[in-house]
Amino acid sequence: MTTNESKPESNANGGTPLPEAAGDATAKQHNQLKKGGKKAKPLTDETLSKQLDSANRAFYEARFDIVRKKLCSENQAEWDKLPFTRKCLVIQDLIKADILN
């Protein structure tokens, strides 16, 4: 049995679909920034909150706690200080690296 067969809700790669797979503007903007695109405006907590619907926001926030629990107390304090936008980008990177799903 493959990963896809054991998880019918997963995508073809066996993980949870990423926002960019659905054409999410936020993910596209993030990718543009990572590639050095000069036209992309930087993400802020306010713009990201507006762009994410409640389901996507819940998806990321649920993973914030998972990541936080895996950190030592010193790093947990640093995680708590990170802005919402940065936490979302970290979660995206962990999912892409198949560390988190």
Judge if pTM exceeds 0.85: no
67 pLDDT above the threshold of 90: yes
The arithmetic mean of pLDDT across residues 20-47, rounded, is: 60
Going by pLDDT thresholds of 50, 70 and 90, the confidence category of residue 3 is very low
Average pLDDT value for residue range 26-51:
64
CB atoms near residue 8 (< 10 Å): 6
* Portion of the chain with pLDDT greater than 70, in percent: 56
Is residue 6 pLDDT above 70, yes or no? no
The arithmetic mean of pLDDT across residues 68-72, rounded, is 93
Burial 56-83 (b: 16+ CB within 10 A, else e): beebbeebbeebeeeeeeeeeeebeeee
Q: Say if CB 16 and CB 5 are below 8 A apart.
A: no
**Rounded to an integer, what distance in angstroms lies between the CA atom of residue 25 and that of residue 82?**
22
Of residues 49 and 5, the one with the higher pLDDT is 49
